Amino acid sequence: MKHCYECGTALAPKKCEHEGLVPFCDSCNSFRFPIFSTAVSCIVFNQTEDKILLIQQYGRPDYILVAGYISQGENAEQTVIREIEEETGLTVISHQSSVIVI
Ligand SMILES: [Zn+2]
């Protein structure tokens, strides 16, 4: 993707926290992640499995699940582990297909 899909401005790579270099639109002041990529969302439980983790991302006020794009060469499970560790600084100590315990 060479141009912003919202405004058409040429994109330039910019360092995005936890993501590395990501195409950035100066006009929209927004990162433009590839729109064809596959992403994961993670439901992260505490050890007693009675709470889930929500985070704030990129300075936004909303609370969301930990999520992120699958990188080239990763499978979805590897992405889940990487994203949790990058976004929260917590370490995944066990995991199943649908439950993550940290
Ligand atoms: Zn733009």
pLDDT of 4-59, one tens digit each? 999 999 999 999 988 899 999 999 999 998 776 789 998 888 888 899 999 998 88
Centroid of ligand 1 to alpha carbon of 7 (angstroms): 4
Amino acid at residue number 37: S
pTM for the structure as a whole: 0.56
Interacting residues of 82 by C-beta distance below 8 A, sequence separation 6+: 68, 71, 74
Whether the CB-CB separation of 64 and 96 falls below 8 Å is answered with no
pLDDT of 61-82, one tens digit each? 999 999 998 888 888 889 999 9
The domain ranges of the chain are 1-34, 37-101
Centroid of ligand 1 to alpha carbon of 22 (angstroms): 14
Centroid of ligand 1 to alpha carbon of 56 (angstroms): 23
Q: How confident is the model at residue 101 (pLDDT cuts 50, 70, 90)?
A: very low
CATH of domain 37-101: 3.90.79.10
What is the pLDDT, as a whole number, of residue 98?
Answer: 52
What are the backbone angles phi and psi of residue 57, rounded to the nearest 5°? -125, 140
* Per-residue tokens: 9: 């401005």
Centroid of ligand 1 to alpha carbon of 34 (angstroms): 14
Whether the CB-CB separation of 1 and 70 falls below 8 Å is answered with no
